[in-house]
A and B are shown apart, each in its own frame.
Chain A
């Protein structure tokens, strides 16, 4: 409630200073409105990216400054604006009000709530566009961001502050991976704050993600930014920058943040649409010339700050949807070159029941291995190499030629490794359980277990370990390299369980 006395006091102060607080405004007139892009005359003092307000209250942002006119992209429905309407500059750049209250909320890229919950209190105004932290403020990626997915944590580890691209065709489980990663953050004592930016998706799909996060208890430390396919292209264009701005608010407080951009292909489409309406020259695949800068300036804002600057981090997981597994298209190659690695998902692997459908040969994490804990590093050492060799051998084995014993053994081990790396959706694992599963196969202790029983064996073995040997799991959770004695204990645990497994 507003304090009456305060209002009167403010009024009195303002009246006393009347005449001394003149205001200068820069105004313009709408010349034309083309699909949400307004051309206006006047506004001679406007600056790029400045927020403008129309007579009817709609807001927009300056996108082009020409000799006699400016182009403004509307951030709301375009139907109400007609030729001759007035607009004025505000002197503000586009920003979003951020506070802790945003946690657990669903908002649009301008910070307006979309979840029918109470109004969000205004907090700190964070600019949507900001120059990324410089090299002096940064430090190398060194802390892991555990996704709870065995294949990723063991072979393509992600570090806090890293940018890891998730790339693949439609329906290959890209969103599933990031949702699992978000869910897995609840195991941390201080959960990593997760921001899910949905760009150009169906509203029903976004609703499913929100429901899942709530059901898994991940909503409390998550923020969902929704710019669905039915929202104006300008909002879809701004959505990832809003996500970054929110992440930077928490970064300033020394917190670790995970931002998911789902997906940047649709973001590039939205930018292409705006650029074509603005009559900017079209380049390859009709994208404008600065489409690389569009994504590089966004992803460069993910950072691991050094201790002098708070020590926080922003990890980015951008998603790119390919067409017919073509990773050499314009946007995929751009984003691959910007990021610190990619997880490549393939349709044929997905259809063969290998989930997550990660193509081992073409996936890589360029900086994450420095952040991997010695525990998982010691266990998963040659995992990637063995699996890559298996993939190429398996292709030869299809011809039915006779194989020597060593090759046959390698093939068999590869099959088992592939099987153990399968993981159902929404079931991220603790690092200790990941280590247990991988060690069980790499040590050969599961060589006598039929492959079709692997999933059941693994699940029951985890339950058994949690119940009977919690201390072993504890020692595997420390992050330190397991000692010979610990490895012996793990082997004993697996042998004991095998006797019980029917």
Chain B
């Protein structure tokens, strides 16, 4: 099965923003193992594109602003104390870093690069 057909199957698996379980099971039972792998990878990719992961040491109401900023994305909040302060936003394959940990990393690399 070529890529275009797999993409069509992926598009058909969605009803609005949600996957239709019945359709997915039906597709999975009809296609070969190799195509199933491509289909799953495609679904994963679409899910990744549709969601936004916000990591922060403290989850508070301030972070809810992201829901307004990205109205068409499924926002997932994650608690990550190692970030120290601020937030990290992962949008598919782009990571936006606004954390204190990132600042410290920058200082470290600056020192490593400029002093022996």
Q: Verify that A and B bind, or say they do not.
A: yes
Asked whether, in the complex, the Cβ of B115 is within 8 Å of the Cβ of A2, the reply is: yes
Asked if A26 CB lies within 8 Å of chain B CBs, one says: yes
Segment with Cβ contacts to B, from A6-14, A107-115, A143-151, A308-316:
A6-14
Asked whether, in the complex, the Cβ of B94 is within 8 Å of the Cβ of A22, the reply is: no
Segment with Cβ contacts to A, from B25-33, B57-65, B68-76, B99-107:
B99-107
Asked whether, in the complex, the Cβ of A22 is within 8 Å of the Cβ of B98, the reply is: yes
Chain A residues with Cβ below 8 Å from B115 are: 1-3, 6
- Cβ of B49 to closest chain A Cβ, rounded Å: 10
> Residue B97 contacts which of A3, A14, A22, A122 (CB distance < 8 angstroms)?
A22
Asked whether, in the complex, the Cβ of A11 is within 8 Å of the Cβ of B94, the reply is: no
> Residue A21 contacts which of B3, B45, B103, B111 (CB distance < 8 angstroms)?
B103
Chain B residues with Cβ below 8 Å from A44 are: 92-94
Chain B residues with Cβ below 8 Å from A45 are: 93-94
Asked if A24 CB lies within 8 Å of chain B CBs, one says: yes
Please give me the residue from chain B that is nearest to A41 by CB atom.
B45
- Cβ of A348 to closest chain B Cβ, rounded Å: 54
- Cβ of A196 to closest chain B Cβ, rounded Å: 27
Binary A-proximity of B37-70 (CB < 8 A = 1, otherwise 0): 0000100010000000000000000000000000
Asked if B116 CB lies within 8 Å of chain A CBs, one says: yes
Question: A41 to B47, alpha carbons, bound, how many Å?
Answer: 14
Contacts A14-B106, A15-B103; A24 near B94 (Cβ below 8 A): yes
Asked if B12 CB lies within 8 Å of chain A CBs, one says: no
Asked whether, in the complex, the Cβ of A24 is within 8 Å of the Cβ of B95, the reply is: yes
Question: A37 to B56, alpha carbons, bound, how many Å?
Answer: 35
Chain A interface residue count, CB cutoff 8 Å, equals 30
Chain B residues with Cβ below 8 Å from A121 are: 116
- Cβ of A25 to closest chain B Cβ, rounded Å: 4
Asked whether, in the complex, the Cβ of B93 is within 8 Å of the Cβ of A22, the reply is: no
Chain B residues with Cβ below 8 Å from A21 are: 103, 106
- Cβ of B37 to closest chain A Cβ, rounded Å: 11
Asked if B18 CB lies within 8 Å of chain A CBs, one says: no
Please give me the residue from chain A that is nearest to B42 by CB atom.
A68
Asked whether, in the complex, the Cβ of B111 is within 8 Å of the Cβ of A43, the reply is: no
Asked if A42 CB lies within 8 Å of chain B CBs, one says: yes
Asked if A119 CB lies within 8 Å of chain B CBs, one says: yes
Contacts A68-B45, A121-B116; A10 near B111 (Cβ below 8 A): yes
Contacts A21-B103, A22-B96; A122 near B111 (Cβ below 8 A): no
> Residue A10 contacts which of B3, B86, B90, B107 (CB distance < 8 angstroms)?
B107
Asked whether, in the complex, the Cβ of A18 is within 8 Å of the Cβ of B100, the reply is: yes
Residues from 293 to 346 in A contacting B, C-beta threshold 8 Å: none
Chain A residues with Cβ below 8 Å from B104 are: 14
Residues from 92 to 139 in A contacting B, C-beta threshold 8 Å: 119, 121-122
Contacts A14-B106, A19-B86, A21-B106; A7 near B93 (Cβ below 8 A): no
Asked whether, in the complex, the Cβ of A23 is within 8 Å of the Cβ of B102, the reply is: yes
Question: A1 to B111, alpha carbons, bound, how many Å?
Answer: 11
Asked if B113 CB lies within 8 Å of chain A CBs, one says: yes
- Cβ of A121 to closest chain B Cβ, rounded Å: 6
Chain B residues with Cβ below 8 Å from A247 are: none
Asked if A36 CB lies within 8 Å of chain B CBs, one says: no
Asked if A27 CB lies within 8 Å of chain B CBs, one says: yes
Question: A41 to B40, alpha carbons, bound, how many Å?
Answer: 14
Asked if A28 CB lies within 8 Å of chain B CBs, one says: yes
Please give me the residue from chain A that is nearest to B3 by CB atom.
A67
> Residue B113 contacts which of A3, A14, A27, A122 (CB distance < 8 angstroms)?
A122
Question: A179 to B85, alpha carbons, bound, how many Å?
Answer: 59
Asked whether, in the complex, the Cβ of B107 is within 8 Å of the Cβ of A14, the reply is: yes
Chain A residues with Cβ below 8 Å from B92 are: 42, 44
- Cβ of B77 to closest chain A Cβ, rounded Å: 19
- 17 A–B contacts from the bound complex (CB under 8 Å): A2-B111, A6-B115, A10-B110, A15-B103, A18-B85, A19-B86, A23-B97, A23-B106, A24-B96, A24-B97, A25-B95, A26-B94, A27-B90, A28-B93, A45-B94, A119-B116, A122-B113
> Which B residues contact A (CB, under 8 angstroms)?
3, 41, 45, 85-86, 90, 92-98, 100, 102-104, 106-107, 110-111, 113, 115-116
Kindly list 18 other residue pairs between chains A and B, CB separation below 8 angstroms, not including A14-B103, A14-B104.
A10-B107, A14-B107, A18-B85, A18-B86, A18-B103, A22-B102, A23-B97, A24-B94, A24-B95, A24-B97, A25-B95, A26-B93, A28-B93, A41-B45, A41-B93, A42-B93, A44-B92, A68-B45
